[in-house]
Amino acid sequence: MGKKITATDLFLTILAFLLISVSFYQAWLGLQQIFGNSSIIVAFVLSLILLFLLWQIRVAKTNGNSTSGLSWIYFFFALFCFIANFNALYTRFMRTNIYTTELREINENYNFLETDVKKKLNYAITDEKTRQNIVSKTDQLMKQIADKGTPGYGSKARQLAGEIEKLLGQKLTLLTVSGNDYDDLAIRMGNQIIDMMDQLSPAEKTLNTDVENAKLHWNKQIEKLLLMSNDDINDMAQGEIDKSLQQYNDLVNRAKSVLGDEKIKIEHATSKTQEVGKIGYAFEHAINNFGIFQFVVLAGCVLLDFGIVLIILLMPSDPRNGNSNNGSVITNKRSGKTLIPNN
């Protein structure tokens, strides 16, 4: 007669099917990078092999036979599922985080580029304290010129103009108002002073303006994208990253060309997210950013592919198989001849 199916066998069968089913789905997703549409077949074959090996290990364990060979074979095939599962799970839950991290880094790159370019421009006034003083007094002068009560060049405005001339070491041209538009006059006077303070070449002026505009544009664009839902970020982020980095690298090239390689040491930026979804990138990112989340994903993948086989291997052999070496020393009765001494 065949052996009766026990409650333990039924429980292990259900648990194995549940874990391997989840592993099959995740392996299907994780292997698409390599096998494309054929990944579902590969994942299905791997899952069937794992289920067959689990059954064989259970039979060997129940009969008290060695399971080491079958366990190594199971480990070999389960390793492929583990790698694919980790890639699928890690990419799914970390994709948005990876994108948002790179978008914030791009913002920082633009901010640093603007700061570095401004420092390296060939200004007529190079002393930073003097420049800040000129900018401060220019703002005050513009407010005085546009003041509704005493617009134009009043006593206070002329005093400020004289102080600015001393800082510049040059005479200012007091521009004339057009159609009583003192706001326009204030802006033109401010631009004149800044131009005299900077005295940049046309190429430097254009570079400075383009870097400022690009920084403002991408800071605004990226902040807007970061406020969107995770699905929208995942759909749109890569395109925005590619466009922003292309413009960034173009500006770096122009900065090196206009100001010189010896001044601009900034290197080109490359996208780190082009590899998202690939097996190698998932493990590399997890190692470089290892934390509690990475540990949880790792533990989950180990449970999916190795949990059931560990349970089977750690379970005691069935004492009904007649192998006393694998039964419990508490429940198994001792067998053998008993010597009774003669009286």
User: What is the mean pLDDT of the segment spanning 328-333?
Assistant: 36
**Residues 142, 100: Cα–Cα separation, whole Å:** 41
pLDDT tens-digit map of 103-151: 999 999 999 999 999 888 887 887 888 988 999 999 999 999 998 888 8
- Report DSSP letters for 118-176, one per residue: HHHS--S---HHHHHHHHHHHHHHHHHHT-SSS-SS-HHHHHHHHHHHHHHTSPPP-PP
In this prediction, residue 340 has a pLDDT band, given cuts at 50, 70 and 90, of: very low
**Residues 135, 164: Cα–Cα separation, whole Å:** 9
Residue % of the chain over a pLDDT of 90 = 30
pLDDT on residue 12: 84
Write down the H helix ranges in the chain.
7-30, 32-35, 39-62, 68-120, 128-145, 155-168, 182-198, 202-226, 230-259, 279-288, 292-314
pLDDT tens-digit map of 137-146: 999 999 999 9
**Could you tell me if 208 and 123 are in contact, meaning their C-beta atoms sit under 8 angstroms apart?**
no
pLDDT on residue 139: 93
pLDDT at 330 over 60: no
pLDDT at 38 over 60: yes
pLDDT on residue 64: 80
Task: Return the C-alpha torsion angle 80, 84, 89, 91, nearest 10.
Answer: 140
pLDDT on residue 321: 53
Sequence letter at residue 95: R
pLDDT on residue 317: 63
- Report DSSP letters for 283-317, one per residue: HHHHHHT-SHHHHHHHHHHHHHHHHHHHHHHHSPP
Higher pLDDT, 104 or 198: 104
User: What is the mean pLDDT of the segment spanning 177-185?
Assistant: 88
pLDDT at 326 over 60: no
pLDDT on residue 1: 43
Question: What backbone torsions phi and psi does residue 338 show, to the nearest 5 degrees?
Answer: -110, 125
Lowest mean pLDDT among 154-163, 240-249, 331-340: 331-340
**Could you tell me if 247 and 110 are in contact, meaning their C-beta atoms sit under 8 angstroms apart?**
no
In this prediction, residue 195 has a pLDDT band, given cuts at 50, 70 and 90, of: confident
Highest mean pLDDT, choosing among 89-98, 141-150, 240-249, 274-283: 240-249
The SS3 assignment for 37 reads helix
**Could you tell me if 30 and 276 are in contact, meaning their C-beta atoms sit under 8 angstroms apart?**
no
Phi-psi region of 154 (alpha: psi -120 to 50; beta: other; left: phi over 0): beta
**Residues 303, 306: Cα–Cα separation, whole Å:** 6
The vertex-304 CA angle with 300 and 305, nearest 5°, equals 120
pLDDT at 320 over 70: no
Lowest mean pLDDT among 163-167, 263-267, 326-330: 326-330
Residue 156 CA, chain-centre distance (Å), reads 54
Residue 217 CA, chain-centre distance (Å), reads 22
**Could you tell me if 283 and 289 are in contact, meaning their C-beta atoms sit under 8 angstroms apart?**
no
Phi-psi region of 290 (alpha: psi -120 to 50; beta: other; left: phi over 0): beta
The pTM of this model reads 0.66
pLDDT on residue 319: 53
**Residues 181, 178: Cα–Cα separation, whole Å:** 6
Residue % of the chain over a pLDDT of 70 = 91
